[in-house]
Amino acid sequence: MAPTWVKQCFWTLAGTGAVYVLSMLALTIPALQRNVTYAHNINPARWQKLSNVEQFGFLHHQVQPFTVKSTNNVTLHAWHILPTHLYREHREELINQPDFGLKTFAAAADSVGMRLLLNEPNAKVVVSFHGNAAHIGSSHRPGTYQQLLSTSTTQQPVHVIAFDYRGFGLSTGTPNEQGVIDDGIAIMSALCGSPGLHPSQIILLGQSLGTFVSTATYYEWTVRLHHAPFKALVLLASFSSLPKLLDSYSIKGLTPPLLSPLTQYPWAQRWIRDRIYDKWDTASRLQAILGLVDTKLDLTIMHAKDDVEIPYREGYMNWLAVQEAVNGTGTFSSTHDDVYHPEFTKSWVSDDGMKRVRWDKVRHGGHNRLPTSEHVKVILYDILERD
């Protein structure tokens, strides 16, 4: 007869295995799967006032909140954040606005802060596409915006637009793959309306989940809608697709990769992957953008070696997809750059100079500290200097 401790170990392992199997089966239910992957119901906006921007490190009149209508009658909540030097220069005008507060984009376009963006041909704006869970003011996100704003100069002001996808923060609706893509297009359409910006004034910057949304937005904008390309696309902690990500994704680095317990059962892994409803396929969209003739693309893919949530190999798969798409054309280079201190940097430039792609693997930055790092700041400086 087996000792008591052996029985206890057996039933503990059996119970853990049963919980894992039931959890994986439950995640094949679309609504539950989307709740887990988007994590939009982890929403501090239920108890935090997003109108109180001082709690996130900004000056009250530095942030103009606005809304944009997306598909399915969804209302998106967004911030326009002024660089501090423009706030200081126009402080009296900003503070004395009689009706300052949350407005539709059409109304916000006439605000003091928004006019400083829309009426300045030398201005640039970084549109931030955040990762899953929480809202535009959560965690590292305000620090990211402040880092981006710090690249602003009087000659070339840099503004930030941050927005919540449907179901996140104060935005209405429920997220799904096509829905969040529609949300990206809605924000871009508002910014590039009349009066508005030219796409060449806009840099898309995505982190984690946001790398898919920003890439898909760029793809829809250029490939499907045939609009002029944006100035640049920056992907931080990216992945090639959600089904492939499941092989290596760890929840905050505290768990083994989600599908690793099924390593000995490849048929079970395939069965689960086949039931992923939102594919978040970034790699194929990047390849399609690269295939556009006479269309500029300035793409940076950056990943931290110590990212325990999405391993750097996932970002590197997007670089490999780039290599496959360009099929040996153009010029490749590989360097160690003392300015960036990366493990290595690889780059590719097309023969006509219209397209350039850069892959950076940096030593440190983790998953959420990378967007606030000096690495990103210098990358942005480089982009702003290019025509």
The pTM is what? Answer: 0.91
Give exposure, 14-37, as e/b (b: 16+ Cβ within 10 Å): eeeeeeeeeebeebeeeeebbbeb
Question: Per-residue DSSP letters for 49-110?
Answer: -TT-GGGGT--GGGEEEEEEE-GGG-EEEEEEE--HHHHHHTHHHHHT-TT-S-EEHHHHTT
Q: Are strands 63-69 and 75-81 parallel, antiparallel or unpaired?
A: antiparallel
Domains and CATH numbers, the chain: 10-385 (3.40.50.1820)
Alpha-carbon span 147 to 378, nearest angstrom: 10
For residues 139 and 234, what is the distance between their CA atoms, to the nearest angstrom?
20
Amino acid sitting at position 28: T
Amino acid at 331: T
pLDDT per residue, tens digit, the chain (387 aa), is: 556 655 556 445 545 444 444 455 556 677 877 888 899 999 999 999 999 999 999 999 999 999 999 999 999 999 999 999 999 999 999 999 998 999 999 999 999 999 999 999 999 999 999 999 999 999 999 999 999 999 999 999 999 999 999 999 999 999 999 999 999 999 999 999 987 999 999 999 999 999 999 999 999 999 999 999 999 999 999 999 988 877 766 666 656 666 656 566 576 667 666 778 889 999 999 999 999 988 899 999 999 999 988 999 999 999 999 999 999 899 998 876 555 554 578 999 999 999 999 999 998 999 999 999 999 999 999 999 997
Cis omega before residue 195 (within 30°)? Answer: yes
Integer angstrom CA distances of residue 305 from 323, 365, 366, 379: 21, 8, 7, 17
Phi, psi of 22 (to 5 degrees): -65, -35
Instruction: State in Å, rounded, how far the first CA of the chain is from the last one.
Output: 78
Q: Which amino acid is at 96?
A: N
Find out whether 357 and 322 touch, Cβ atoms under 8 Å. yes
Which residue, chain included where needed, has tokens 């990047």?
286
- Look at residue 361 and give its three-state secondary structure: strand
Q: Are 367 and 351 in contact (CB under 8 A)?
A: no
